[in-house]
Copies of this chain bind each other. A is one copy, B any other.
Amino acid sequence: MPPIDANPAARSAPARRITRRREPRYAVVAEQLQGLIGSGQLRPGERAPSVRELSRQSRISAATAVAALRVLERRGVLEARPQSGFYVRPRPRRSAPLALTQPPRTASDVSVNSLLGLLDAARNDRRIVPLGSAIPESAWLPERALQRRVVAAARRLPSLLSEYELLRGLPALRHQIARRYAEIGCALAEDELLVTNGCMEALHLCIGAVASAGDTIAVESPAYFGFLQIIESLGLKALEIATDPRDGLSVEALQRALDGRQGHSIKACLLVSSYSNPLGASLPEPRRKALLEVCSEHDIALIEDDIYGELNYAGARPPPIKSLDRSGQVMLVSSFSKTLAPGARIGWVAPGKWLQAVRLRKFTTSASTAPLLQHALADWLAQDGYTRHLRRLRQDCAEHVELFSAAVERHFPPGTRISRPEGGFVLWVELPPGRDSLAMHARALREHISFLPGPLFSATGQYRNCLRLNCARSWTPRVAGAVRRLGQLAG
């Protein structure tokens, strides 16, 4: 478990900028205390150290001690008993883990596009508690610092508006992207990279480059609805592959499909390799190797979406499968939308041996990507505030997925199961059989709460009793109330 920040709920953007510099003392103490509870040295029902004890032991003021205890109270770790002090709360029941998914074994046409309205319904409506779209709360992003870079770039280079950028994208930005991959042992030449209008364009280019109408794309199940919508719009079929909620796509199931009757029509395997959306699954290294091997053997593209890869909660981030790739079989795509600036719409692709095909498609899809925001991002990345920013963002994500998980386990009906992501910021909730997340979605939206219903994540209408929550929202009373209310609606 990573160290936990003091007070995510109350944190406003300016306050955040200050606390970012150094961990405040009360947060450090709260962390130590939570460590004692996590390790069992302090058990549920036991009394926590008093304000006086804490301030003496930790050499802090009484006010700081109170702040530390309040943090843990707000997190649901301690409860205050009048006239008596703080006590360790019982850990909420831990629901059973999700099981391996079992999608149908035949490829099918996709028609999730009809559900697209669900996405736009809640967007930009300030009355709504937005637990739908998977983007981090803007206060968690370095908005002001990026803003300064945009202003500086616009001032320095007015010609950015008047000239077309190179098809491949700004060299300085490609350099920064390649540099970051190099740091985790994934060697990519800048010339292997193309800058795109977000990850969506990168995915669209990759899928379009390797498959034609009627072909099949193998996807994890449940899968990010954007995958399915691209597949639908290109007239392709999707084959959902059984997926382990922790370890990701089953390579054996993919192998079986490739060896099967219609295996020849499968042109690519498409997945989020680390902290997948919506399951939060991550392929362990042996599975990554096996997957690459199977794709190479059958000469199908392995389209690896790495968009959540940097949001690991603990340890080192897993290097993308691309780092194991010697023959260009992997098409790696990602973007800054989950970590820096969703509104910049800047993504990238390293298309391996399909580089030329993807390059041509980039020209016919959007000619080139507007250079201004590329400059701003490249400038910001060159300053290397990214590592520090990521450290905090990971912590925020870890903490909030934990807070959301605990609330779901507390307020949702018995029999509910949830995913256990180790990175990213979405939570997959499986309600007891028979519940209908589409009906629930309509009711929730009337009450100004959005989330995404499960069928959006399947080509075949599976997961009707499931839903996805975006946990990258500060845990305010309003958000807590919304999750509680969702639990009632699910009941």
Contacts and interface: CB of A to CB of B under 8 A. Distances in A.
Contacts of A150: 150, 154, 161, 372
Interface string A142-165: 011011001100110011111111
Interface stretch (A196-204, A433-441, A458-466): A196-204
A113 B360 contact: yes
A154 B147 contact: yes
Contact of A367 (B160, B161, B198, B212): B198
Nearest to A163: B343
Contacts of A370: 197, 343-346, 370, 373
A233 interface: yes
Interface in A206-260: 208, 212-213, 226, 229-230, 232-235
A55 interface: no
A359 B116 CA distance: 10
A135 B163 contact: yes
Nearest to A336: B161
Interface string A340-380: 01111110000000000001110111111111110000000
Given A154-B150, A233-B361, A164 B343 contact: yes
Contact of A364 (B147, B204, B212): B204
A138 interface: yes
B165 A360 contact: no
A120 interface: yes
A166 B117 CA distance: 11
A124 interface: yes
A158 B133 contact: no
A211 to B, nearest CB: 11
Contacts of A201: 365-367
B161 A155 contact: no
Given A147-B154, A212-B213, A373-B372, A200 B367 contact: yes
A91 interface: no
A105 interface: no
Given A143-B158, A213-B213, A230 B166 contact: no
Contacts of A212: 213, 235
Contacts of A143: 158-159, 161-162
Nearest to A231: B364
Contacts of A146: 158, 161
A201 B367 CA distance: 8
Contacts of A159: 138, 143, 343
A200 B162 contact: no
B162 A138 contact: yes
A477 to B, nearest CB: 22
Interface in A426-476: none
28 contacts: A113-B360, A116-B359, A116-B360, A119-B363, A138-B159, A143-B161, A147-B154, A147-B155, A150-B150, A150-B372, A154-B154, A159-B343, A161-B341, A162-B341, A162-B342, A162-B343, A163-B343, A197-B197, A200-B363, A200-B364, A213-B213, A213-B235, A234-B364, A343-B371, A344-B370, A345-B368, A345-B370, A370-B370
Which 10 residue pairs of A and B lie closest in terms of their CB atoms, listed nearest first?
Answer: A138-B162, A200-B367, A197-B366, A147-B158, A345-B370, A161-B341, A233-B364, A150-B154, A230-B364, A201-B366
Interface of A: 113, 116, 119-120, 123-124, 133, 135-136, 138, 141, 143-144, 146-147, 150-151, 154-155, 158-167, 196-198, 200-201, 204, 208, 212-213, 226, 229-230, 232-235, 341-346, 359-361, 363-373
